[in-house]
């Protein structure tokens, strides 16, 4: 703030202050000794212009131009207030969209799942070492294997293969995105419900989405995406129809994930387990809805 001069009395000072506001000059007026009021200007780049206007005003404070234009100050201030409120709402939306986990922390099971994925990613060089992954695929990939050969390993007792593809990730972006969503959604469910409940959800979504993807494209796939979309659908619908559950996902987050679903479906990003995404999301939404009915 820079002082540009004084005016005799509150009335003229208020009129001139309003006039400066309409002219786009941020200012402040305040009383000093006697009846004098000081006029301060916020932007130093506007000092010269503001000073010239003050001198003009001092010559004829009752001039019509000052009185008329000063009346528009209320509208200008109201507009600025609306802009400020809109900015705060946008800022709040971003905070909801990328809400940190300060209220939840890391759930024990969520942490374990993330560690498991990281270990597999390191051992397999993010999918580059296929030999390290053969025991984790739903079935060992063979030439021409598109799901028509059944699941012989499962019949031999290797039931873990129904779940373990969720630990396989191909590429750094693949695992980072999945782990961030798992961290948020998994920790929320563990905090609001329980680790056992999250375990049931993860197993159901993993088995359902893995089997569906296998029968559509064969055994060569992996990733936590089917589970993540399942958890998203569950939290979204459960929170929508049962707010008392404490589960909540911002509508903007849902929109973003649905848009991402269709981007993946377009194959612009290469081969992606879209069937697992769709089945996981559908199972999660159904589970969330049925849970709400049971609560009622």
Average pLDDT, the chain: 85
pLDDT tens track for 52-104:
999 999 999 888 888 888 888 888 888 888 887 876 776 555 555 444 444 56
Over 80: is that where the pLDDT of 247 sits?
Answer: yes
pLDDT at 146 > cutoff 60: no
Query: Contact at 8 Å (CB) between 96 and 249?
Result: no
pLDDT of residue 72: 83
How much of the chain exceeds pLDDT 90, in percent?
43
Most confident of 20-34, 85-99, 131-145: 20-34
The highest-confidence range among 90-104, 225-239, 250-264, by mean pLDDT, is 225-239
> Of residues 13 and 146, which shows the higher confidence score?
13
Q: What HEC string does 28-88 produce? A: EEEECCCCEEEEEECCHHHHHHHHHHHHHHHHCCCCHHHHHHHCCHHHHHHHHHHHHHHHH
Angle at 84 between CA 19 and CA 40, to 5 degrees: 35
Q: All domains of the chain, ordered by start, with CATH?
A: 2-97 (3.30.70.2350), 108-295 (1.20.1540.10)
């Amino acid at each position: 703030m820079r002082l540009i001069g004084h005016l005799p009395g509150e009335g003229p000072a208020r009129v001139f202050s309003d006039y400066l506001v309409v002219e786009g000059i941020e200012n402040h007026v305040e009383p000093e000794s006697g009846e004098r009021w000081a006029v301060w200007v916020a932007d130093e780049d506007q000092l010269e212009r503001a000073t010239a206007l003050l001198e003009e005003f001092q010559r004829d404070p009752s001039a019509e131009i000052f009185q008329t234009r000063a009346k528009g100050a209320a509208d200008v201030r109201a507009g600025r207030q609306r802009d400020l409120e809109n900015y705060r709402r946008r800022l709040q939306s971003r905070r909801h969209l990328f809400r940190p986990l300060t209220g939840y922390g890391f759930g024990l099971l969520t942490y374990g799942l993330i560690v498991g994925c990281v270990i597999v990613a390191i051992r397999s060089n993010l999918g580059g070492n296929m030999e390290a992954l053969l025991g984790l695929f739903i079935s060992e990939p063979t030439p021409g294997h598109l799901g028509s050969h059944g699941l012989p390993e499962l019949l031999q007792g290797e039931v873990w293969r129904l779940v373990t593809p969720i630990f396989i990730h191909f590429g750094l972006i693949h695992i980072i995105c999945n782990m961030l969503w798992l961290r948020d959604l998994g920790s929320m469910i563990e905090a609001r419900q329980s680790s056992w409940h999250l375990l049931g959800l993860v197993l159901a979504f993993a088995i359902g989405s893995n089997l569906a993807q296998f029968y559509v494209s064969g055994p060569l796939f992996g990733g936590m995406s089917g589970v993540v979309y399942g958890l998203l659908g569950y939290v979204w619908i459960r929170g929508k129809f049962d707010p008392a559950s404490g589960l909540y996902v911002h509508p903007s987050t849902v929109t973003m994930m649905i848009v991402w679903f269709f981007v993946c479906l377009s194959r612009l990003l290469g081969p992606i387990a879209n069937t697992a995404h769709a089945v996981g999301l559908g199972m999660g939404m159904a589970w969330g809805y049925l849970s709400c009915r049971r609560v009622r």
